[in-house]
Structure 1
Amino acid sequence: MNDLSHRARYEARLNRVLDHIYDHLDEPLDIDRLAEIACLSPYHWHRIYQAMHGETVASTVRRLRLHRAAGYLANGSLPIAEIAERSGYSSLQSFSRTFRTVFGMPPAQYRKQGTHSRFRPAQSGDDEMVMREVVIRDVPAMQVLTIDHVGSYMQIGKAFDALIGWLAARNLLSPEMRMIGIYYDDPGIVAEAELRSKAGVVLPNAVEVAAPVSSTHVRGGRYAVLQHKGPYADMAAAYQWLYGEWLVQSEHEAADAPVFEEYLNNPKDTAPSELLTEICLPLA
């Protein structure tokens, strides 16, 4: 058995753990149960996980739960106490303290004044400033290595984790690679469970692909590009503004092609308030 198959075997085991974490964020996560899912010794598996994923299992769970909590706050009206409970916190005070440490403000303030609020011109008064932030850019065509994701866009991280594992097993991780998310459906008209997207990377050199990875073509041409700074959970407001305000007031029309996002830094080592994402809308 060669080195690739050894590493791929471990990646497959840990991907099962990640799938379980993503699908059971509302439930207490038992370390011994995760070890069973990984088919690895409970004494050692979490060290393997940390070595291969760059963070502890506890850090992964906390990051994903807080990411989802920010989405609840930015995009819905769920009571904060219920969000805290769903996020695994025994008290609202503990949740608020942790959320403030990570996001820079307590949950109630984030709901009212998070970065998503800047895309509500009636409240922010910065409509002209936001309009100027959209730039028209010529984007070259790209071949993107992708893994399909079906379901909530907030959970596309499952596909990204699987893709990074596939690349790592083949020693293909590179500082030059670009992280791309491709989104096909409108969450306003397509049921969340049926939303189609792809987690992708652009590598500096062509490589041979094998399931579950495929090669996806992204059209070249003119794009309207809005750079978003802040948590991924806030981007629903950015999309609503980009389509409902900027596009209809501009001289442009959207092309018959999906929007894509490019992620300019890594959520594992970047504070949510510092995350940079380019939303790229294809233009006719």
Structure 2
Amino acid sequence: MARHRERFAHVLYFIEANLDSDLDVDQLCQFANLSKYHFHRQCSAFFGMSVIALVRLLRLKRAAYQLAYRDKKVVDIALESGYESHEAFSRALKRYFGKSPAKFRQKPDWALWHKHYEPIMILRSQLMATTTSFDVKVVEFPETRLAVMEHRGPAHLLGSTINQFIQWRKGQGLSPDKSRTFNLVYDDPATTASDQFRFDVCCTVNQPVSASITHEYGVINKVIPSGKCAVIQYLGSDDSIGIAVQYLYLQWLDSSGFTAREFPMFFERVKFFPEVPEREMITDIYLPIE
């Protein structure tokens, strides 16, 4: 079972790395070293869908992120996602997200999407769970001033907070190439009641944000204090980032001789999806320790 899971993990990685290519079943069968008949059966068993549906789903995920968080034209997103027309793309998006591209861009709603995408999230977590250890380093992290938009409430609504913060950030000229991107991570969405979930979306600033900005946009000032941190550089999708977080808390910390400081875990987003494929995302995971 583990061998087959690993084989289809490679298929998933190959698809993600070649989303802009004309992928065909014969090519994927050859990559997986399986006959077409067995490939179809096993792909459906592992992913809960056909391989063609899997490719379509991954392309639509990238398209949805571009719609929600980037300013690309809808027709350009449609063509890059393998659709011949705006109309065909719109029909597909409605099927998976329940909204047209224009309405989704105005008010993204990810709840329906998660039902379709859940098999891939489960597989990613299963694959990451087989990792027995991560490379952990202990570093001195400098005091870092942040502009913060607090998300409080269900995790599946986090995308709306991210979108609001991105729009504010653009207006301030704080693009990721000029200002580092962080998240303060207070709770595990898997074990926290949805109305109590807390997560901060942040970027670095040289000066505190003004009271007028706080009043108008809800962006506030916070500081990551200087101090010792354990850090993992995590490569891959957020779908399974929780495995690395659990490793730091449940395995590494217990045997390290350190204790957790009175400050939440935080992420630095080094490489972003959809600018890079999900498997090429880089997130530095910091656990403040003493």
Q: Tell me if the contact between 2:270 and 2:281 (Cα under 8 Å) persists in the aligned partners.
A: yes
Q: 1:152 to 1:270 in 2, by over 3 A?
A: farther
- Unaligned 5+ segments in structure 2 are 1-67, 70-93
Kindly provide the amino acid, as one letter, of the partner of residue 287 in structure 2. L
Following superposition, the deviation at residue 147 of structure 1 comes to 0.5
Q: Report matched runs for 1:108-257 at 5 Å.
A: 111-112=122-123, 114=124, 116-117=125-126, 119-120=128-129, 124=130, 127=132, 130-131=133-134, 133-153=135-155, 155-173=157-175, 175-187=177-189, 189-203=191-205, 205-206=206-207, 208-209=209-210, 210-211=213-214, 212-257=218-263
- Give, as a single letter, the amino acid of the residue that structure 2 aligns with 1:195: F
- Cα 1:61/1:160, change in 2 over 3 Å: closer
Give the 3 Å change call, closer, same or farther, for CA 222–263 of structure 1 in structure 2: same
Question: Partners of 1:134 and 1:157 in 2: how far apart?
Answer: 29
Shift of 1:185: 2.6
Q: Is the 8 A contact 1:119 1:241 kept in 2?
A: no
2:100 & 2:140 partners in 1: Cα distance? Answer: 49
Q: 2:269 aligned with 1:263, yes or no?
A: yes
The TM-score, its normalising length taken from structure 1, stands at 0.58
Q: Does the 8 Å CA contact 2:208/2:221 hold for their aligned counterparts?
A: no
Q: C-alpha distance in 2, partners of 1:137/1:189?
A: 29
Q: Is the 8 A contact 2:182 2:202 kept in 1?
A: yes
The aligned amino acid for 1:175 is: D
Structure-2 separation of matches of 1:57 and 1:187: 25
Look up the match of 1:92. Answer: none
Q: 1:163 offset after TM fit, Å?
A: 1.6
The one of 82, 93, 98 equivalent to 1:28 is 98
Supply the distance in 2 between the matched residues of 1:153 and 1:25 (Cα, whole angstroms): 22
Distance 1:246 1:139, change over 3 A: same
Q: How many residues align?
A: 194
Offset, 1:27: 5.0
Distance 2:226 2:167 in 1: 28
1:208 deviates by: 3.5
Q: Distance in 1 between matches of 2:259 and 2:195?
A: 29
1:10-65 CA deviation, whole Å, 9 max, x = no partner? xxxx99xxxxxxxx997510457x3xxxxxxxxxxxxxxxxxxxxx949x979x68
Question: Is the Cα–Cα contact under 8 Å of residues 159 and 198 in structure 1 kept in the other structure?
Answer: no
Q: Deviations over 1:66-103 (max 9, x none)?
A: 9x64xxxxxxxxxxxxx33xx6xxxxxxxxxxx9xxxx
Residue in structure 1 matched with residue 79 of structure 2 by the alignment: none
Aligned CA distance change for structure 1 residues 119 and 159 (closer, same or farther; 3 Å):
same
Q: Which amino acid aligns with 1:134?
A: V
Amino-acid identity (%): 21
In 2, Cα distance between equivalents of 1:177 and 1:25: 37
- Quote the offset at 1:266 in angstroms: 1.8
Q: In structure 1, what residue type is equivalent to 2:260?
A: A
1: CA distance between counterparts of 2:155 and 2:281?
17
Q: Is the Cα contact below 8 Å between 1:160 and 1:200 reproduced in 2?
A: no
| CA distance in structure 1 between the partners assigned to 2:248 and 2:182 by the alignment | 19
Decide whether the 8 Å contact of 1:229 with 1:276 is kept in 2: yes
Distance 1:234 1:174, change over 3 A: closer
Q: State the AA in 1 paired with 2:207.
A: A
Q: 1:248 to 1:273 in 2, by over 3 A?
A: same
SS in 2 for 1:156: helix
Query: Would the alpha carbon gap of residues 213 and 172 (structure 1) be closer, same or farther in structure 2, given more than 3 Å must change?
Result: same
CA shift, 1:206, in A, is 2.0
